A and B are shown apart, each in its own frame.
Chain A
């Protein structure tokens, strides 16, 4: 069969909503796009632990501390689900980690903003995880099987993240004047970067929409962003706070909220490595990796030694 025939069969499967599995034939560009997207998603989960990890030791109560630890542990788990989904496409964990550490691979720009106050933990949960969830719910139906399955698992766990964030802000919004001010300040700082998480406007595209055709992605950036604005604009009323956008207004004709222009210069600046924390984040990841090297080596040496002393120990299914 010619390559065009394979591509035709492949596209027909996609059109019929048949998932693509690791050993199936797929166009090289489909494989590459998935590797890039899944690994960037994984890196985002891993780097995303840093702004929140920053507050674990300073959480205001034992309850909040336990919640935050559980959330950060979830992010680590989500990173691992995604790395293993990417590995089914023939890339290795080491390659992906190397690409992150060299700056070749990206992660979500939102994590290059600093977490300055305790209220940021609430704002991140509500806004950042809220934005991520919309994207992830869509990705539960993505065409690559292992990615879709990882997403289903992640979505099940993610809604606690958004709820705890909102609840934490709700407590602050009913607190002292200082607490209210801290809550509003966190919302002010995280609102616009959260909107940028969905990526550039659809109208600024010069790319053909291959990702949509392959059903890797099923909604456009603007559709998801609008969905997010509509959701948050309602929820913020419960908090009694304001979104920092004087153009935000219900549009009865469109049945959606209108909102102000996003600063795309800032977005590209942060993507290109000039955000407030890009350097810090990468250095933290590299440091963790380098300082963990002896642990990885020691574990491997121990496993090798044990296997050589007791080779018959392999295969202990009967114990299950």
Chain B
């Protein structure tokens, strides 16, 4: 048997290498039915302990908010990583566009007087 070897990284076997048997098995089984509505995607925010902000940890699929919270509990807090969970459907998040980052943040760049280090004070004034 002649085998052509290309380099594939662990966890990165390309599609053309899928080989024979599985594709043969697969052709006999119908794909997911078209029209099967998939559960919406939710973004998950977790407060790791009282006094800290909720922080984005990832996302998951759930049919509704209550299920999203239950799933987030199972997926993101299996080792007591949280004391409070926020979930928000991903479609409601509006994000800034990285291509506009230049003009969006540029106005802050030349205002160095907003930083305490801009002001040099005599040493006598300690810890201001």
Measured as residues with beta carbon below 8 angstroms from the partner, the interface class of chain B is 35 or more
Which A residues from 11 to 66 make CB contacts under 8 A with B? 21, 23-25, 33, 36-37, 40-41, 44
Q: Are A300 and B5 in contact (CB under 8 A)?
A: no
Q: Cα distance A115–B23 when bound, in Å?
A: 24
Q: Are A98 and B31 in contact (CB under 8 A)?
A: yes
Q: Give the Cβ gap from B89 to chain A, nearest Cβ, in Å.
A: 9
Which B residues from 50 to 99 make CB contacts under 8 A with A? 54, 57-61, 63-65, 67, 74-75, 78-79, 84, 86, 95, 97-99
Q: Are A273 and B19 in contact (CB under 8 A)?
A: yes
Closest to A110 in B: B10
Q: Cα distance A316–B38 when bound, in Å?
A: 23
Task: Judge if A284 is at the interface, Cβ distance under 8 Å.
Answer: no
Q: Are A94 and B38 in contact (CB under 8 A)?
A: yes
Chain B residue numbers with a CB within 8 Å of A264 are 3, 5
Q: Cα distance A96–B2 when bound, in Å?
A: 31
Task: Judge if B108 is at the interface, Cβ distance under 8 Å.
Answer: no
Contacts A84-B60, A104-B23 aside, 13 further interface pairs with beta carbons under 8 A come to A40-B12, A77-B74, A77-B75, A85-B58, A92-B38, A106-B15, A108-B11, A200-B8, A204-B6, A272-B21, A273-B25, A296-B36, A317-B86
Chain A residue numbers with a CB within 8 Å of B106 are none
Q: Cα distance A94–B75 when bound, in Å?
A: 19
Q: Are A282 and B25 in contact (CB under 8 A)?
A: yes
Q: Return the CB mask of B3-46 against A: 1 if under 8 Å, else 0.
A: 10111111111110111111101100101100011110100000
Q: Which of B5, B12, B95 contacts A204 (CB 8 A)?
A: B5
Measured CB to CB, the residues of B under 8 A from A are 1, 3, 5-15, 17-23, 25-26, 29, 31-32, 36-39, 41, 54, 57-61, 63-65, 67, 74-75, 78-79, 84, 86, 95, 97-99
Which A residues from 82 to 104 make CB contacts under 8 A with B? 84-85, 87, 92-94, 97-98, 101-104
Tally of A-B residue pairs with Cβ under 8 A?
Answer: 172
Q: Which of A23, A24, A271, A289 contacts B17 (CB 8 A)?
A: A271
| B-side interface mostly | loop
Q: Are A36 and B14 in contact (CB under 8 A)?
A: yes
Chain A residue numbers with a CB within 8 Å of B75 are 77, 80-81
Give the one of B26, B29, B78, B99 with max A CB within 10 A.
B26
Q: Are B39 and A296 in contact (CB under 8 A)?
A: yes
Segment of A177-185, A245-253, A302-310 engaged in the interface with chain B: A302-310
List 29 A–B pairs whose Cβ atoms lie within 8 Å, in order of A's numbering.
A21-B98, A23-B95, A24-B98, A44-B11, A98-B32, A102-B26, A102-B31, A103-B19, A103-B26, A104-B15, A104-B18, A104-B26, A106-B13, A150-B58, A199-B7, A199-B8, A200-B6, A200-B7, A217-B12, A224-B10, A271-B13, A271-B17, A273-B19, A278-B22, A282-B22, A286-B29, A293-B36, A302-B64, A320-B84
